[in-house]
């Protein structure tokens, strides 16, 4: 009863949340799923405001609740929306399921294309066009960051991608209720499902294939199906193309947005030294809330 009143109180006091991030980020997905779960009105911007950029570079997700300060970190944001925090062991096990994501740059073209398809729902054509142009910088940023991680030996593939999901498979056999949170999804469900969206948005085929068909993960697949049913009208779902029940894939950007994005990508390629210097400068900025 107390929990019910508390979450209602948060919902009542939260009129609107502005969120910054790209749909390929698992942590942004967790925040968007949380907002959807609580039925909180929100807007999504694909590039940070200048103030946010100066304070925390392109670090995502960031959220501004009502007119408060920009806040970083998906778990902290989810807590501000009324979800309970996640214990340290679970955080580590959630992070492990992210393994394999660094393969998304194996095909640079697919990587850039994936970002080009993100839809911007801002009502102004001009804003959408400008943001699409600038959005290609975000792609260069993450492309460079991932290549840097690979180059410095941070991509260590496990023998079998299935292993990283086994703790959750076991947990599902012990959990009462359809979700890790019991009768409704909690922050663990949201972060794990955010990572599923991330794996499916620019897929690394061996990894997604393993989740789809490996005999060791029947409960995990059933949980994905329950999450897809629960979030069936969620607008940014990618996993519905790979798991039952099939759900519509996140809406794609318009042709004009894609043209602006690729024009941005080409311009930034022609100015590559400046693009790279800006990326390194932003990557070195300390990341802090405002
Ligand atoms: N623990 C953070 C992780 C956020 C994070 O790692 N975001 C990545 C994108 S998925 C990022 O923006 N990295 C940029 C950088 O490190 O400069 C959360 O849950 O929000």
Ligand 1: distance of its center to the CA of 20 in Å? 12
Ligand 1: distance of its center to the CA of 265 in Å? 22
Q: Percent of the chain, pLDDT > 90?
A: 88
Which residues form ligand 1's pocket by a CB distance below 6 Å? 25, 27, 57-61, 73-75, 283
Say whether pLDDT at 215 is over 60: yes
Least confident of 1-5, 16-20, 173-177: 1-5
Residue 182: DSSP 8-state: B
Report the distance separating Cα 68 and Cα 274, nearest Å.
Answer: 34
Ligand 1: distance of its center to the CA of 52 in Å? 14
The pair of three-digit structure tokens given for residue 95, joined into one six-digit string: 């992070």
42 strand-pairing partners: 17
Residue 18: DSSP 8-state: E
The pair of three-digit structure tokens given for residue 234, joined into one six-digit string: 């969620």
- At a CB cut-off of 8 Å and minimum separation 6, what does 257 contact? 119, 120, 128, 129, 132
- pTM here is 0.93
DSSP secondary structure string, 41-93?
-EEEESS--HHHHHHHTT-S-EEEETTS-EEE-HHHHHHHTT-----HHHHHH
The closest-lying atom of ligand 1 relative to the alpha carbon of residue 57 is: 17
What does the pLDDT read at residue 10? 52
The pair of three-digit structure tokens given for residue 110, joined into one six-digit string: 């697919």
Res. 257 pLDDT band, cuts 50 70 90: very high
- Mean pLDDT across 164-173: 96
What does the pLDDT read at residue 1? 40
Ligand 1: distance of its center to the CA of 154 in Å? 16
Pairing of strands 17-20, 42-45: parallel
Say whether pLDDT at 4 is over 80: no
The closest-lying atom of ligand 1 relative to the alpha carbon of residue 24 is: 10
Pocket test for ligand 1, best of 23, 27, 188 (most atoms within 8 A of CB): 27
What does the pLDDT read at residue 67? 84
Ordered structural domains, the chain, with CATH: 88-241 (1.20.1050)
What does the pLDDT read at residue 14? 79
What does the pLDDT read at residue 12? 55
Say whether pLDDT at 214 is over 90: yes
The closest-lying atom of ligand 1 relative to the alpha carbon of residue 26 is: 10
Phi, psi of 65 (to 5 degrees): -90, 125
Cis peptide before 61 (omega within 30 of 0): yes
Report the distance separating Cα 70 and Cα 51, nearest Å.
Answer: 9
Report the distance separating Cα 100 and Cα 127, nearest Å.
Answer: 34
Say whether pLDDT at 7 is over 70: no
SS3 8: helix
């Amino acid at each position: 009863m107390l929990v019910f009143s508390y979450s209602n109180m948060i919902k009542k006091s939260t009129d609107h949340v502005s969120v910054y991030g790209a749909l390929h980020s698992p942590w942004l997905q967790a925040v968007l799923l949380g907002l959807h779960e609580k039925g909180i009105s929100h807007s999504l911007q694909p590039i940070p405001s200048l103030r946010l950029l100066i304070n925390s570079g392109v670090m995502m997700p960031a959220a501004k609740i009502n007119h408060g300060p920009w806040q970083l970190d998906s778990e902290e944001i989810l807590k501000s929306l009324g979800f309970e925090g996640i214990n340290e062991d679970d955080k580590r096990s959630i992070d492990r399921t992210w393994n394999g994501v660094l393969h998304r740059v194996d095909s640079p073209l697919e990587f850039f294309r994936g970002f080009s398809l993100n839809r911007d729902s801002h009502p102004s054509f001009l804003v959408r066009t400008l943001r699409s142009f600038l959005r290609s910088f975000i792609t260069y940023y993450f492309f460079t960051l991932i290549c840097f991680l690979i180059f410095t030996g941070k991509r260590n593939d496990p023998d079998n991608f299935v292993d990283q999901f086994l703790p959750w498979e076991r947990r599902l056999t012990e959990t009462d209720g359809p979700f890790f949170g019991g009768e409704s999804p909690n922050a663990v469900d949201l972060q794990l499902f955010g990572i599923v969206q991330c794996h499916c948005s620019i897929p690394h085929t061996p990894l997604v294939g393993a989740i789809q068909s490996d005999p060791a993960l029947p409960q995990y697949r059933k949980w994905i199906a329950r999450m897809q049913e629960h979030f069936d009208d969620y607008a940014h779902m990618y996993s519905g193309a790979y798991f039952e029940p099939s759900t519509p894939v996140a809406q794609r950007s318009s042709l004009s947005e894609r043209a602006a994005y690729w024009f941005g990508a080409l311009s930034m390629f022609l100015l590559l030294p400046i693009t790279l210097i800006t990326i390194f400068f932003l990557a070195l900025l300390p990341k802090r809330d405002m």
